[in-house]
Structure 1
Amino acid sequence: MKKVLCVAEKPSIAKAVAGHLSGGVIRNTRNTGNKYIKNYDFNYRFPPPWGECSVTMTSVVGHTVSWDFADEFRRWKDCQPSALFDAATKQFVSPENKEVAANISSEARNAQILYIWTDCDREGEYIGTEVMDLAMKSNPRVEVKRAKFSNIERAHILHAAQHPGVLDERQAAAVRARIELDLRIGAAFTRWQTMLLQTVRGLDEQVVSYGSCQFPTLGFVVDRYKRVKNFVPEPFWSIRVIHKRDDINVGFSWDRGSLFDRMAVMVMYEKCLAAKVAKVVSVVKKPTSKWKPLPLTTVELQKQGSRFLGLSSQLVMNIAEKLYTQGFISYPRTETDQFDRGMDLRALVGKQTQSHAWGQFAQGLMEGGFSQPKNGTHNDKAHPPIHPVAYVAPDKLNADEKRVYEFVVRRFLACCSKDARGETTTIKLQYGEEGFHTTGLVVLERNYLEVYVYDKWTSSQELPVFTPGEIFNPTEATMTEGKTCPPGFLTEPELIALMDANGIGTDATMAEHIAKIIERKYVFARPMGRSGGEFSPSNLGIALVEGYDNIGFDMSLSKPFLRKEMEEKMKKICEGVMTRLDVVNSSIEQYREMFMKASQHSDVLKACAQRYLTPP
């Protein structure tokens, strides 16, 4: 009987997969050197030519192998920071992971097949290669296979076991390139700017860390902050018409909106008054719809979780990861907003009929209300959109977990429902030489809105009857004055949208980058209840962004362009267009050039830090 070693990315997944493959009949559960990791022994019949096998299921705890510089470059004073762009590096098993690595090596020694069960994303492919390398050191002849799965529902796991694939070396190479670049670029700039700014009061003992994703993220916050602080309000004027009919005050808006020329508006307003009567130009009724949402992606989960649930994007992702490992939702790291036509979505809807909160709506979908979800424009070819895979009773979850799970379920049910339908009535007036309009909405069928409580679409006040061609004396006509308002500070959903649009980080890392600039005290986050949080930069954050901007780079380090270009190169590795070495070498040369220019103008960065951090 062949021996198969199965390795998952985390202990909870290993336990779940072992339970499904064994049918609940675990022959033996063994402790390992790591207190979180168990080895589960059982038998399982794989597809030919393997057949009935003796299986050991175990796991790692994320990355087992660490990267760092060779010993002669690790101490800050042993070399110039610029040397780190070319310095020798090493890969090693960190002390806290030695027992994890030893367990893999020991269990692989007598195995004929290594079956990788790491998460099916780019990072998971790389962790899979770490596991493979550790196993092959003790058993070079082991055959390596890869499980493809997006949730840990039993049927899905059994399908993955019966249809093994191979590790995607290109995706792993992209992660390897990113790790090396982040190490070299981050260390070089961190050491240089920290040592430069040590003489600035308040920074004498602080590490001023640099990250090629964190700095553009900080740049977005500083840019918005400056727009708010530098905003100068401007007055504007408009004309408003009100007509009372059938005890309803109907407000008509000026077609021009508003103008910044008071005298021009005054002339137009006086012409309206001189005309005395208004004429109904048209009354148009037409059907309208509010479209149901697209299937849920990681970026959308982070944005909407922050906006509607009042939770940070990082907390939303941590909870989603936990719900996934418990088998409640699908894999929460996906760019895909299209459901495959082969998925049995009705079966997933049917599981939610048990809920007291949305079960009746789900039942309605089962009884004829189901509508195929709309397709978005993204498909990462790896995972479906985020969706529930099991019904969970509310008492099984804590308060925050309930909110995230409920959002995922309601979003999924809304996707499987129909668009909301209504009717709009638009009335257009001619008053003097000016045009005015008003619009009323009547919601006829709420459909998806019944379950997706996060969207609002309500009937406006009822409009009385107006007839095309009729003439009347407006009840009231006024010239109004207002002032332009500054934008608000950047909110977390807005920041995530900017990062996504500019290619800063991946859908899986955006929340981490935001958390990092808060942890480094480059920005402060102020909670805003259910609308998420908003960010303002610290004096240090402003000084760093302004300093690098003032140096006059073609592409400032606080702007997204360089990092976006690097992320595009990572995709080219995955597509086989570029090699890992091509990407590492080209990106290093770009950042080395930036480093040399920053070094030549170090006085600019230091002057900014002194201006913002030294008290008067």
Structure 2
Amino acid sequence: MKVLCVAEKNSIAKEVANILSGGSSRTRDSTYKFVKNYDFVYTFPALGRCNVTMTAVSGHILGTDFGPEYAWGKCPPGRLFDAPFITKVSQDKDKRSQRIHDNIIKEARSADRLMIWTDCDREGEYIGWEIMHVAQQRNPSITLANTWRAQFSHLEPSHVVHAACNPLQLDMKLVEAVDCRKEFDLRVGTSFTRFLTNLYKSKSLVGDKDVVSYGTCQFPTLSFVVDRYLRVRKFRPEPFWFIDLVVDQKNQKVSFSWSRGHLFDKAFVYLLYAQIMRSNSPPIVSSVGTKPTSHYRPFPLTTVELQKCCSRYFRMSAKQALDAAESLYTAGFISYPRTETDSFPENMDLKSYITKQAQDARWGSYANMLTSENRYRHPRGGKHDDKAHPPIYPVKYANIDSLRGDQKKVYEFVVRRFLACCSDDARGFQTKVEVQWTSEKFSASGVQVTERNFLDVYPYTDWKSSVQLPEFRNGETLKAHSCKLKEGKTTAPNYMTETELIALMDANGIGTDATIAEHIDKIITRNYISRRKQGKNEIFIPTSLGISLIQAFDAILIDRISLSKPFLRRALEGFLQRIARGETTKNLVIQQLLPLYKEAFLESNQKSRVILDTFTETNRQLDSGAL
């Protein structure tokens, strides 16, 4: 019996074949030079001894498109909302997809069973369906019923063997969810993109080779950057006033904060301040309390958190972080890096992975301490579980000096985050002193850190003891060193950073953990935003094109649901999750949401003059310094 196994990348195919064959697989060339065929013998519990060929694709091999009669320039863009689809082999410059397609057909001819080893997420499930669809062209005996699906999240040998021996079936609900998303992306994205590109080129506002694209995730992402930019540019500082109290206590000057914070009514603050100054009574301690406090260890690592942290700590783009994590995964060093799960199963043997890190010169002693001194704690559990993969963690030890570029920082971060998750919280004591002076209350607090715990291995955050407060007693009369009425001003928000943008996209359901980086990269490539240095940070600044697109669509669709805000895309993502759970169908979602986009398209087409005028006005305001 012959089993054809197909992975999503050749590096995965090579490693899985090496594990299952015990290093004895035979390598053959395929019809595409970067994909090999690995032949070996393996005993599956359900089939017995089998001849196995392990090969790979390189992402999607089939594409959904419109027929030639709907090509650019052959029909009005609005017709694409209803045009029929065709499925065909993806067109690549190097004919990669066609050659991979041909290799699968050739290898599937004599196969008795197909086994899918693509990434275990929605997109991977869809690619698995594509592979099955291609294999069936020459071998109709391959069906959904006899197609196996390997469930795995990393390339540790025992895990791979378990996946090979315990296959599942392809989940067609996940396939349907991706199919629904692809239809929205194609119909809506292509219609608006052709309309916008034709419009801007008709007035020579963009170059001949430029594309003014619309995407259901691109525009909400762009809108976050534009909205922040406009808030900064239109900001006007507003004065506020507050009372600042400093007392002398046991030869130490202690600053107390006003309980009201600050107020914008100068006359009222002055009235309260004058009341204090006219009073003959001193400030009196109304409360003294000391209580235990903790700085919580981090949650287990998700894809979004990885991207945010790499941007914040290493000035690394989301795409760079994910690319580095992907390469570490394919090398077998970390688990699958595309996950929304932030809690580990209670029965997972995490100590064995900690032990593997004990040999490192940087964090090895800490790892050893966790396991040998009974300091291990099961990680905190978050609220997210994608039901496919655990959080990101180090699968095997790597000497970071042997890694390249961004891989070093990402691997070290993954390891330290994992060790921190398996540690105890940092602990200390917080003392708070409250003071009453006439009608006003003030407070001062201090923290004394007594146990650093996870902070010893996680340098990316810190928690230090503050200046220790002198002793205060309840009811004690204090001596005011100074009491001043002070003025401040509100400060403008900062321009958008990538860390903030990732967080906003995640919170608003724009893209998935796996595609957030792609959407950010796309609006940079389209010249809708640019990266700029601001001190130690990198910020996003929208271009005139980016600003005008958002403002134009907001003006045109003022009485309709917005295309620039996240509401529609968030609703779509919610529906996709329901499809994946079997709670609704693709057809019902299309019927409910697609008409909203079509109505928005028709109105935008009718009011295209607004788009052009907004572009001109935006450039005028930028040139004059008004924006």
| TM-score, structure 1 normalization | 0.97
Give per-residue Cα distances to partners, 1:286-324, cap 9 Å, x unaligned.
Answer: 000111111111111111111112100111011111110
Q: 1:358 to 1:97 in 2, by over 3 A?
A: same
Question: Where does residue 187 of structure 2 map in the other structure?
Answer: 184
Taking the aligned partners of 1:452 and 1:10, their CA distance within structure 2 comes to 33
Name whichever of 466-475 and 342-351 sits farther off: 466-475
Deviation at 1:212, TM superposition (A): 0.9
Query: Which residues in structure 2 correspond to 1:271-420 (within 5 Å)?
Result: 271-275=275-279, 277-367=282-372, 368-420=374-426
CA contact (8 A) 1:67 1:91 kept: yes
User: Alignment partner of 2:336: what SS?
Assistant: coil
Question: Where does residue 431 of structure 2 map in the other structure?
Answer: 425
Question: Where does residue 539 of structure 1 map in the other structure?
Answer: 544
Unaligned regions of 5+ residues in structure 1, if any?
Answer: none
Deviation at 1:98, TM superposition (A): 1.3
Question: Where does residue 33 of structure 1 map in the other structure?
Answer: 31
Question: Where does residue 554 of structure 1 map in the other structure?
Answer: 560
Taking the aligned partners of 1:130 and 1:409, their CA distance within structure 2 comes to 35
Give per-residue Cα distances to partners, 1:270-298, cap 9 Å, x unaligned.
Answer: 22222352111111000001111111111
Residue identity in the other structure for 1:37: V
Question: Where does residue 461 of structure 1 map in the other structure?
Answer: 467
Give per-residue Cα distances to partners, 1:355-391, cap 9 Å, x unaligned.
Answer: 1111111111102110011111111111001111011
Question: Where does residue 145 of structure 1 map in the other structure?
Answer: 148
Question: Where does residue 524 of structure 1 map in the other structure?
Answer: 530
Residue identity in the other structure for 1:269: Y
**2:588 pairs with one of 561, 575, 582:** 582
Taking the aligned partners of 2:216 and 2:85, their CA distance within structure 1 comes to 19
**2:521 pairs with one of 515, 518, 531:** 515
Instruction: Give aligned-pair identity as a percent.
Output: 49
Taking the aligned partners of 1:284 and 1:430, their CA distance within structure 2 comes to 15
User: Alignment partner of 1:417: what SS?
Assistant: coil
Give per-residue Cα distances to partners, 1:451-474, cap 9 Å, x unaligned.
Answer: 111111100001111111111221
User: Alignment partner of 2:271: what SS?
Assistant: helix
Q: Does 2:61 match 1:57?
A: no
Question: Where does residue 99 of structure 1 map in the other structure?
Answer: 99
Q: Count matched residues.
A: 611
**2:605 pairs with one of 595, 599, 608:** 599
Deviation at 1:247, TM superposition (A): 4.0
Give per-residue Cα distances to partners, 1:335-368, cap 9 Å, x unaligned.
Answer: 1111011210010111111111111111111021
**1:89 pairs with one of 41, 64, 85:** 85
Q: Does 2:258 match 1:261?
A: no
Give per-residue Cα distances to partners, 1:69-106, cap 9 Å, x unaligned.
Answer: 100111x2211110011112211113331110111111
Give per-residue Cα distances to partners, 1:549-578, cap 9 Å, x unaligned.
Answer: 011142221111111111111112112122
Taking the aligned partners of 2:8 and 2:215, their CA distance within structure 1 comes to 26
Q: Does 2:226 match 1:222?
A: yes
User: Alignment partner of 1:588: what SS?
Assistant: helix
Question: Where does residue 43 of structure 1 map in the other structure?
Answer: 41
Taking the aligned partners of 1:493 and 1:79, their CA distance within structure 2 comes to 41
Deviation at 1:246, TM superposition (A): 3.9
Question: Where does residue 438 of structure 1 map in the other structure?
Answer: 444
Taking the aligned partners of 2:592 and 2:119, their CA distance within structure 1 comes to 30
Question: Where does residue 478 of structure 1 map in the other structure?
Answer: 484
CA contact (8 A) 2:297 2:424 kept: yes
Residue identity in the other structure for 2:369: G
Residue identity in the other structure for 2:36: K
Deviation at 1:124, TM superposition (A): 0.3
Deviation at 1:534, TM superposition (A): 1.7
Taking the aligned partners of 2:248 and 2:322, their CA distance within structure 1 comes to 52
Taking the aligned partners of 2:19 and 2:48, their CA distance within structure 1 comes to 17
Deviation at 1:596, TM superposition (A): 1.1
Taking the aligned partners of 1:116 and 1:207, their CA distance within structure 2 comes to 36
Deviation at 1:528, TM superposition (A): 5.4
Q: Does 2:467 match 1:451?
A: no
CA contact (8 A) 2:342 2:381 kept: yes
Deviation at 1:530, TM superposition (A): 6.5
Deviation at 1:183, TM superposition (A): 1.1
Question: Where does residue 161 of structure 2 map in the other structure?
Answer: 158
User: Alignment partner of 2:573: what SS?
Assistant: helix
Taking the aligned partners of 2:344 and 2:534, their CA distance within structure 1 comes to 33
Question: Where does residue 119 of structure 1 map in the other structure?
Answer: 119
Taking the aligned partners of 1:220 and 1:70, their CA distance within structure 2 comes to 35
Question: Where does residue 194 of structure 1 map in the other structure?
Answer: 197
Taking the aligned partners of 1:529 and 1:62, their CA distance within structure 2 comes to 39
CA contact (8 A) 2:248 2:479 kept: no
User: Alignment partner of 1:295: what SS?
Assistant: coil
| TM-score, structure 2 normalization | 0.95
Deviation at 1:399, TM superposition (A): 3.4
Residue identity in the other structure for 1:98: Q
Q: 1:547 to 1:384 in 2, by over 3 A?
A: same
Taking the aligned partners of 1:505 and 1:385, their CA distance within structure 2 comes to 19
CA contact (8 A) 1:426 1:440 kept: yes
Give per-residue Cα distances to partners, 1:572-601, cap 9 Å, x unaligned.
Answer: 211212222222333321211111111122
CA contact (8 A) 1:309 1:530 kept: no
Taking the aligned partners of 1:609 and 1:542, their CA distance within structure 2 comes to 8
Taking the aligned partners of 1:275 and 1:442, their CA distance within structure 2 comes to 35
CA contact (8 A) 2:248 2:478 kept: no
Taking the aligned partners of 2:559 and 2:85, their CA distance within structure 1 comes to 29
Q: 1:41 to 1:529 in 2, by over 3 A?
A: farther
Unaligned regions of 5+ residues in structure 2, if any?
Answer: none
Deviation at 1:188, TM superposition (A): 0.5
CA contact (8 A) 1:310 1:528 kept: no
Deviation at 1:223, TM superposition (A): 0.8
